[in-house]
Amino acid sequence: MLTTGAARVAGVMGWPITHSLSPVLHGHWFRRHGIDGAYVPLAVRPDDAIAAIRMLPKLGFLGCNVTQPHKEAAFAAVDLRDAVAARMGVVNTVMVQSDGSLIGTSTDGAGFMANLREQAPDWRPEQGPAVLLGTGGAARAVAITLLDAGVLELRLVNRTVAKADALAADLRLIFQGRRIDAVGWQERSAALEGAGLLVQATSLGMKGQPNHDLQLDGLPLSAPVAELVYVPLETELTARARRRGHRIVDGLGMLLHQAVPGFAHWGGVTPTVDAEARQIVLEVLRSRR
Ligand code: ATR
């Protein structure tokens, strides 16, 4: 499918943006679905983000994805935030409406859950406490999504425990009656005792970063281990968990699934997260090593 002057145009905005895999994925979906479309990287400096987002309708864009450090700016720039974005406090997908107004949503949480359901279909929210490592933006989206799904107990583990305390206090206001505990870094291995799910949302294990020294002994084998890092695709932690017999949920699936709502808007069809899409993104990741 050629890109013509009539192409549907969208993109991904960030600073820096060169590492983004979104152009590969959305470009693939445009071709796969036979759509005349273009999805471009938008390298926008932090100070220019709000103005750039507001300019999207005037440039004929149908929308864009927004990555760091612009997710808060996107939240401020849009005319309307849907209920998910309002609760997450960030926007990662901006959709231009036919009247030129901008709707913002946040798809990280839904992407995480769709991937968890796909890669660990036997997991049930009520099977035990969920342990979440990290309290950054992605971790916050995961925490809200897990509680929404019906997780009754959440253990928030973070190196800086004050951040876990703050997130726990926030979440307790939204999800009254749930048990939400902040756990200090010293207790990170003990927190796994009897858990039903472990989610790794810190930058540990990422290429160039140190590995986790988490002891998995207390983690029941029925608990899936979900990793948000996807470079490398298998981290030292997930390799260890896999050897112990845990079901592993990798970070690439979340990246693919979180892209679906945006593409459905600018592509006009709901794209399929299939082996082909995964393979194409994986090949680009591998070629960068
Ligand atoms: P994002 O928004 O992408 O989730 P972030 O806000 O930079 O990223 O968060 C990174 C997470 O990794 C944080 O939870 C951070 O812990 P702190 O809040 O204590 O900084 C965690 N992290 C980064 N390096 C770490 C390390 N060496 N040991 C333990 N945790 C680390």
Q: Are residues 113 and 103 in the same domain?
A: no
CA of 98 to the centre of ligand 1 (A): 39
Q: Are residues 209 and 266 in the same domain?
A: no
Residue percentage of the chain with pLDDT more than 70: 100
Residue 222 lies in a domain: yes
Q: Using CA of residue 63, residue 68, residue 72, residue 73, what is the dihedral sign?
A: negative
What residues make up the domain containing 49? 8-107+259-287
Give SS3 for 44.
coil
Residue 149 lies in a domain: yes
Q: Give me the helix-helix angle, 108-119 and 251-258, nearest 10°.
A: 130
**Angle CA 116–198–20, to nearest 5:** 55
CB 171 within 8 A of CB 180: yes
Residue 68 lies in a domain: yes
Give the tens place of pLDDT for each residue, 43-80: 999 999 999 999 999 999 999 999 999 999 999 999 99
pLDDT interval class at 2 (50, 70, 90) = confident
Q: Are residues 146 and 174 in the same domain?
A: yes
CB 52 within 8 A of CB 42: yes
Residue 241 lies in a domain: yes
Ligand 1 neighbour 91 (Cβ under 6 A): no
Residue 202 has a pLDDT of 97
- Average pLDDT, integer, range 81-95: 96
Number of domains observed in the structure of the chain? 2
The pLDDT mean for the chain works out to: 97
Residue 2 lies in a domain: no
Residue 206 has a pLDDT of 95
Give the tens place of pLDDT for each residue, 211-258: 999 999 999 999 999 999 999 999 999 999 999 999 999 999 999 999
Q: Are residues 220 and 143 in the same domain?
A: yes
Q: Are residues 72 and 177 in the same domain?
A: no
CA of 206 to the centre of ligand 1 (A): 11
Residue 269 has a pLDDT of 97
Res 1 pLDDT > 80:
no
Give the tens place of pLDDT for each residue, 121-138: 999 999 999 999 999 999
Residue percentage of the chain with pLDDT more than 90: 98
Index of the ligand 1 atom closest to the CA of residue 140: 4
Cis peptide before 69 (omega within 30 of 0): yes
Ligand 1 neighbour 93 (Cβ under 6 A): no
Res 163 pLDDT > 90:
yes
CA of 134 to the centre of ligand 1 (A): 6
Residue 216 has a pLDDT of 98
Residue 3 lies in a domain: no
Order across the sheet with 8-14: list the strands: 37-43, 8-14, 63-66, 93-96, 102-105, 80-81
Residue 195 lies in a domain: yes
Q: Are residues 100 and 12 in the same domain?
A: yes
